[in-house]
Amino acid sequence: MKAKIHLIAAARPNFMKIAPLYHALVGESWAQTELVHTGQHYDANMSDAFFQDLGLPTPHIHLGVGSGSHAEQTAAVMVAYEKVLRESQPDMVVVVGDVNSTIACTLAAAKITYDPKRLAEPGRPRLPMNRPIIAHLEAGLRSFDRTMPEEVNRLATDVLADLLWTPSPDADENLRREGAAEDKIVRVGNIMIDSLEMMRAQIEAEAYFAELGLSKGGYGVVTLHRPSNVDQPDNLRALCALLHDIARKTAIVFPVHPRTRKNLEQAGLLSELRANSAICLLEPVNYVRFMNLVFNCSFVLTDSGGVQEETTYLGVPCFTMRANTERPITVSQGTNQLCTLQNVKSRIDAALDIDGLKARVPDLWDGKTAGRVVASIKKYLCA
């Protein structure tokens, strides 16, 4: 009997974390891998486009939960996934990242109890707690800022998970400090880099930046979607003023997240951005095109978690509009700087004036993380 593994995907950043693992697992004769999409992100350009780019099949199970308040969304995923767990009885549930669906599926899996008769079937992996093994990919990251919904999700997920796959030594240390048992922590590296390397040929073959009329190294990429930046009209207005200011010197391309678009519209800020010929506003862009923009830009201004990592890997200067980051290695070793409205413009100007940045790629950010995760799963389930 094969070990049944659920890979949980929910929102845009999850797809790049799940894809390399899915591709690595489908070739394993001992594993039966099922993709579960919770439906947290549902627009074609926030979900389907990534399945297509990353070669993922239609999800085996789709929960279709959609948007809602934190409690509504988390609860909807829990209710829907609990039913799936009862019927499907996976041996392992793999959750990734820090979105609401990550903690929701973790909670549902942590409290389910399987029929002991079913578990006694010959060849079935041993499940000591009569429930699936819960594994968290990208465990241990901490911003130490509990006003971030993601920080709450990270803390709660890691307390419940049985296997904690970490991307960097700081994550191991955070987990140890919180009392995680040493044998749960496995440093596997950064899975986002696997997707980047898996798709490198397609990314490099694209000329999306040129199609938009941009020149190599002659523009900056902007992504903003954190509630702390985009939910308050005053913050958003100040950020828009910053973009207009930057655009006096350098062209900007800004694929707008749906949360941000809604808030820009409500605050009456969208038309002025559209009217600025040095700012190229786009709908969310599929992965290959987005990375083509990042590969060829001179800097990135962002509040995204994943983008901080991708720019560190690529050696692209990254200016993060946040007071903290759960990815401190991108600052200590990489190209990332935490910025404020007051200092970001001068920092960008300074970066544009120098050639090349001194930065290193963190250990195990090497495109081989999925292989290490598969080895860890095999050790755990097939021992």
Residue 207 and residue 211: Cα distance in Å, rounded? Answer: 6
Q: Is 46 in the site for ligand UD1 (CB under 6 A)?
A: yes
Binders in 50-69 for ligand UD1, by CB under 6 A: 67
Instruction: Classify 255 as helix, strand or coil.
Output: strand
Only segment of 83-91, 230-238, 301-309, 319-327 that touches ligand UDP (CB under 6 A): 301-309
With CB under 5 to 8 Å by kind, the binding choice for 46 among ligand UD1, ligand UDP, none is: ligand UD1
| Minimum distance from residue 251 beta carbon to ligand UD1 (Å) | 24
Q: With binding defined as CB under 6 A, does residue 100 bind ligand UD1?
A: yes
Catalytic residue among 6, 37, 225, 257: 225
Among residues 1, 43, 218, 249, the one that binds ligand UD1 under rule CB under 6 A: 43
The residue (of 67 and 113) whose beta carbon lies closer to ligand UD1 is 67
DSSP-assigned beta bridge partners for residue 336: 318
Query: Which residue number, 187 or 225, has a Cβ lying nearer to ligand UD1?
Result: 225
In whole angstroms, give the CA distance from residue 44 to residue 296: 25
Spatial neighbors of 211 by CB under 8 A, at least 6 apart, are none
**Does residue 99 touch ligand UD1 according to CB under 6 A?**
yes
Torsion of CA 190, 191, 195, 198, to 10 degrees: 90
Question: How far apart, in Å, do the first and last CA atoms of the chain sit?
Answer: 14
Whether 37 sits among the annotated catalytic residues: the reply is no
**C-alpha atoms less than 13 angstroms from C-alpha of 245 in its C-beta half-sphere:** 14
**Binding partner of residue 262 among ligand UDP, ligand UD1, none, CB under 5 to 8 Å per kind?**
ligand UD1
Give yes or no for residue 33 binding ligand UD1 (CB under 6 A).
Answer: no
Contact indicator for 34, 105 with CB cutoff of 8 Å: no
**196 contacts 173 by C-beta, under 8 angstroms:** no
* Mask for 206-225, x = binds ligand UDP (CB under 6 A): -----------------x-x
Q: Does 90 engage in binding with ligand UD1 (CB under 6 A)?
A: no
- Three-state DSSP state, 213: coil
Considering only residues 111 to 150 of the shown chain, the ones binding ligand UD1 according to CB under 6 A are: 149-150
Between CA 268 and CA 276, with CA 274 as vertex, the angle to 5 degrees is: 115
Minimal distance, residue 117 CB to ligand UDP, in Å? 41
Give the span between the Cα atoms of 151 and 174, in whole angstroms: 13
- Coil/strand/helix, residue 138: coil
Q: From the list ligand UDP, ligand UD1, none, pick the one residue 40 interacts with, judged by a Cβ distance below 5 to 8 Å according to partner type.
A: ligand UD1
| Partner whose footprint covers residue 43, from ligand UD1, ligand UDP, none (CB < 5 to 8 Å by kind) | ligand UD1
Beta carbon of residue 259, minimum distance to ligand UD1 (angstroms, whole number) = 4
Interacting residues with ligand UD1 between 200 and 229 (CB under 6 A): 225
Residue type, 294: V
Angle at 83 between CA 67 and CA 97, to 5 degrees: 50
- We find the least distance from the C-beta atom of residue 249 to ligand UDP, in angstroms, to be 23
DSSP string, 69-135: -HHHHHHHHHHHHHHHHHHH--SEEEEETTSHHHHHHHHHHHH----HHHHTSTTPPP-TTSS-EEE
Residues 243-282: x where in contact with ligand UD1 by CB under 6 A, - otherwise, as a string: --------------xxx--x--------------------
Which of 285, 359, 364, 381 binds ligand UDP (CB under 6 A)? It is 285
Positions marked catalytic: 225
Where along the sequence are the contacts to ligand UDP (CB under 6 A)? 12-13, 16, 223, 225, 255, 284-285, 287, 290, 304-307, 310
